[in-house]
Structure 1
Amino acid sequence: MPLVFERIDAAPVPPQARQHWVRMRDGVRLATDLYLPEDHATEGERPDGGLPTVLIRLPYDKNSKYVYSDHIAGVFTSCGYAVVVQDVRGKFRSGGRTLPFLREPLDGYDTIEWIVRQPWSDGAVGMFGDSYYGFTQWAAVASEHPALRAIVPRVTTVDFNATVRRWDSETARTGKPVWLEGIEYYAHHWVGNAGYEYEPDRTVRPFIEQYEQVFAAIGARSTWFDLLAPGHTDVLHALGRHPFDARPVPVLHCVGWYDNIGLPNMRDYLALAVRPAWNAVQYLWAGAIDHENYQLDLAPVAPENDHGADEEALKRMMAGYTGPAVEFFEVFLKGTRPASSLARVTWELGHAGWRTAESWPPPGAVEHVLHLGAPADAVRSLPGGTLADEATEGEESVQWAYDPESPVPSAVPDSFAYLQHHPDVADTVARDDVLVFSGPALTSPLDLAGPVTLDLHVSSSAPVFDVFARLLDVAPDGSARMIVRGQTTVRQEPAGDETPIELGHTGYRLRAGHRLALMLASSDYPMYLPASGSTENPWTVSVAKPSTQTLRTGAAAPSRLTVTTAPPMAG
């Protein structure tokens, strides 16, 4: 049966925007929309000295409903900004080769240079946007254009390649499972100027052949997908200067607790916190949102609250989405407010509202270690084994199976929009190839405020294996919903003892009567590619091998969960 796909082409330019063709230094022209405030309707020279500009550079069609640039522009123009929105090179209306990352520093510089030469510009530029168009901000920072005064990168990271790089070195004992969803992104959005929607035939083996079918049907390939699957390339090396080595620019990092790249996003913030010049001008906004800006307070999302489908829901969402950037730009683009008016950290405690702090984790937060106990019970459904303050004497162990023909299913069809579904995973926890450990029901709220880490004593019958961990909130009715997650790939050689797993950062209140639980498994498909069960490449292996994992715990082999907690707060 032939593969069915939908080609997504450019939507019409909205009437309130004027499209320009901005020439890059190599002659390629990029499609660029200009939005001006209603009282600055013409593009001529301004008697008041011009307007500061908010620049957005993205690959998802600047005029699509998906990115709602017209709504974003409406917010900023109403606050007295010019707004420039651009299709990046090789995407939708823009010319040039369809290849992500590599030209963004130069193209960002050239676009800013075009802006400051316009009669309506006052010479100050800020940048805004999510995901890839957060990356284009970091690329522009690397280019060091003097007019770039502030950036607001949301749910993004400076190095997207690191999210899909399996091993950081040839000798590393731990690495990352193959994030199929993340690599597949390039086969949807970076095949040519258009985008493509389709569902691969998941029954085809080896897995790489699923995408050969896709490219054959479309009649074109994604160069970047070919570099990543099954190999990889080094994005930052290709960019030249690392953005963190460039001139510091004020940054408002916008992190989502449920964002599937929230961990590398937070790493960016923490990496700059130890660089005094950067730390002096960086700020953190962290909310209980996912990559697509769905909110925990509305999850699972009802149709009337789905901003991806409902126009009124989008309007309601817009204030919280753009509000932090408006305040930030008032300080660093307009200069109408002092920097002291901004909180250094603004963060959401899930189920309990917003907080401010001078640093992250917030002052007063402490680490709390919970030891995995009663492992023989962990193969049963909730509550399973225990999470306790003290390790049991000696050593205990438990085994669980990995069957590549029956992998543990991913919780949602699209982890970028996790909170759209925010599923109860209790049935998954009850599988016999999953372990679960639970703490006691809480008699008072427990506030998580900082990183969550896991240290396991784990081995396998396979030379290479995966471990997937989810921290869960188990309600009194037995439903279990994810708080944070992490995963690792482990090689038996070189030999090691403990296996660390970062589960990311969170701000989350476990309410009275709820309990904390930890789920462990060895697969998560189709979000991640199933392990080969051998040293063979999981992309190209035709028949993967099953394996058995062994977890050791107790005082002699202390497998443990470490959460960062803050004293309960009112609200």
Structure 2
Amino acid sequence: MFAKKETQHPCLLFCFYITYYQDTGDNFLGKRSADKDYVGVVAYARGIRTDLINYAPYKHEGTDIYDIIDWISKQPWCNGAVGMLGGSYAGFSQWATAKNVHPALQTIVPQVVVMPGYDTPMENNVQMSLGLYWSNDNIYKNEPIGRGLPFEWFEKGIAWRKLDSLAGYKIKIFQKWLQHPNFDSYGQSMVPAPEEYTKINIPVLTTTGYYDGSQIGAIQYFKLHNKYNKNANHYFVIGPYDHWGGQSSAKSN
């Protein structure tokens, strides 16, 4: 996965944050990078590969990824230039670290990117069951919850905060997010503030799709970056893609 020590290459950092992604063969990302003469590095959020009690969605990416980039840039196989690539949560992680751009970070490519508290786990201020399914099925690896659960909740007429009780679990992440039903200081602290957008001068490529559930967040990052940084070098691609299509290779009909 890594180049020989005497040979230096630019590096691509792939950040993944839900355990489900570990089942897909992340070594492929290293090979794909090497084929293009890059070093590929895959990083996981704090707690994902050790103890989930240490995992707090979105909370530590801004500082942790800065340290990861710093470490990568100083390795003998890296020429000191680092780029980031990834979609959805991994797209958010790039904007989180852009709050304080490391000198080695040369570009970010956030795909189908979410904005916590703005389009996740609610959309247009309407709560979605995503917060429950995502954390239960992918983080805690409990028995997958049936997608008919919201209909059962509606029929029973119980409070939304008790939705996880119908699944038979107490989902810590779900309950934490319910404490922040709008884009308050909790979500705002995880993404760039106006004065931080002014300092994001590296090239940015954002991709999303007409049918992407994260389209709202992707557009908002683009709008804010250009609003507060009049010289923003930000390319935006939107096409006939869904959430997966907007972060993967083109498919034939």
TM-score, normalization: structure 1?
Answer: 0.38
Map 1:123-522; keep pairs closer than 5 Å. 123-157=80-114, 159-164=115-120, 176=124, 178-188=126-136, 192=140, 194=141, 197-199=144-146, 201=149, 202-204=151-153, 205=156, 206=158, 207-214=160-167, 217-218=168-169, 221-222=171-172, 224-229=173-178, 231-232=180-181, 234-239=185-190, 242=193, 243-274=196-227, 275-278=229-232, 281-293=233-245, 318=249, 320=250
* One-letter amino acid of the structure 2 residue matched with residue 198 of structure 1: I
1:122, CA displacement in angstroms?
0.5
1: CA distance, partners of 2:133 / 2:201:
31
1:227, CA displacement in angstroms?
2.6
Change in 2 beyond 3 A, CA 1:134/1:294 = closer
1:249, CA displacement in angstroms?
1.8
Change in 2 beyond 3 A, CA 1:177/1:228 = same
The answer for the alignment partner of 1:59 in structure 2 is 17
* One-letter amino acid of the structure 2 residue matched with residue 197 of structure 1: P
1: CA distance, partners of 2:118 / 2:92:
13
* One-letter amino acid of the structure 1 residue matched with residue 185 of structure 2: D
2: CA distance, partners of 1:187 / 1:285:
29
SS in 2 for 1:64: helix
1:130, CA displacement in angstroms?
0.5
Cα deviation per residue 1:343-400 (whole Å; 9 max; x = unaligned)? xxxxxxxx9xxxxxxxxxxxxxxxxxxxxxxxxxxxxxxxxxxxxxxxxxxxxxxxxx
1: CA distance, partners of 2:110 / 2:9:
21
Count residues in correspondence: 240
RMSD: 3.0
Q: Is the 8 A contact 2:207 2:246 kept in 1?
A: no
* One-letter amino acid of the structure 1 residue matched with residue 176 of structure 2: L
Q: Is the 8 A contact 2:84 2:107 kept in 1?
A: yes
Change in 2 beyond 3 A, CA 1:190/1:226 = farther
2: CA distance, partners of 1:116 / 1:189:
35
* One-letter amino acid of the structure 2 residue matched with residue 292 of structure 1: W
Cα deviation per residue 1:121-157 (whole Å; 9 max; x = unaligned)? 1000000000000011111111221100000000014
> Computing the radius of gyration over CA atoms, which structure comes out larger, 1 or 2?
1
Which runs of no fewer than 5 residues in structure 1 stay unpaired? 1-34, 167-174, 296-316, 322-350, 352-571
Cα deviation per residue 1:498-552 (whole Å; 9 max; x = unaligned)? xxxxxxxxxxxxxxxxxxxxxxxxxxxxxxxxxxxxxxxxxxxxxxxxxxxxxxx
Q: Is the 8 A contact 1:104 1:140 kept in 2?
A: yes
Higher-RCO chain (CA-CA 8 Å, sequence separation at least 6): 2
Cα deviation per residue 1:397-419 (whole Å; 9 max; x = unaligned)? xxxxxxxxxxxxxxxxxxxxxxx
The answer for the alignment partner of 2:32 in structure 1 is 75
Which runs of no fewer than 5 residues in structure 2 stay unpaired? none
2: CA distance, partners of 1:111 / 1:294:
26
Cα deviation per residue 1:308-327 (whole Å; 9 max; x = unaligned)? xxxxxxxxx64x49xxxxxx
Cα deviation per residue 1:163-188 (whole Å; 9 max; x = unaligned)? 1587xxxxxxxx93523233334532
SS in 2 for 1:267: helix
1: CA distance, partners of 2:79 / 2:107:
15
1: CA distance, partners of 2:51 / 2:68:
13
1:191, CA displacement in angstroms?
5.4
* One-letter amino acid of the structure 2 residue matched with residue 238 of structure 1: S
Q: Is the 8 A contact 2:26 2:42 kept in 1?
A: yes
SS in 2 for 1:239: coil
Normalized per residue, the structure richer in helix is: 2
Q: Is the 8 A contact 1:102 1:235 kept in 2?
A: no
Matched residues, percent identical?
A: 22
Change in 2 beyond 3 A, CA 1:234/1:184 = farther
Map 1:17-56; keep pairs closer than 5 Å. 35-36=1-2, 40=3, 42=4, 44-46=5-7, 50-56=8-14
Candidates 94, 100, 103, aligned match of 2:60: 103
Change in 2 beyond 3 A, CA 1:75/1:51 = same
Change in 2 beyond 3 A, CA 1:196/1:140 = farther
Cα deviation per residue 1:205-232 (whole Å; 9 max; x = unaligned)? 3143330243xx45x532x321332643
Q: Is the 8 A contact 2:13 2:83 kept in 1?
A: yes
1:247, CA displacement in angstroms?
3.3
1:115, CA displacement in angstroms?
0.4
Change in 2 beyond 3 A, CA 1:268/1:120 = same
Normalized per residue, the structure richer in strand is: 1
